[in-house]
Amino acid sequence: MSGKKVQIGRRQFSFLITTMAISTVDIFVPAFIAQEAKNDSWIAAVIAGVAIFPVSFIMLKLYRRYEGLTLIEICRKAAGRFFGTIFGLLYLLYFIVIAFSVSAEMGHVIKIALLNLSTPRLS
The residue extents of the domains of the chain are: 10-114
**pLDDT at residue 120, rounded to an integer:** 61
Give mean pLDDT in consecutive 10-residue pieces for the chain, a chain of 123 residues.
Answer: 72 76 64 70 78 86 86 86 90 87 75 66 57
**pLDDT at residue 86, rounded to an integer:** 93
Question: Within 13 Å of residue 45, how many CA atoms lie on the same side as its CB?
Answer: 17
**pLDDT at residue 31, rounded to an integer:** 65
Q: Judge residue 98's burial from the number of C-beta atoms within 10 Å of its C-beta, 0-12 exposed, 13-18 middle, 19 or more buried.
A: middle
φ, ψ for residue 9 (rounded to 5)? -85, 175
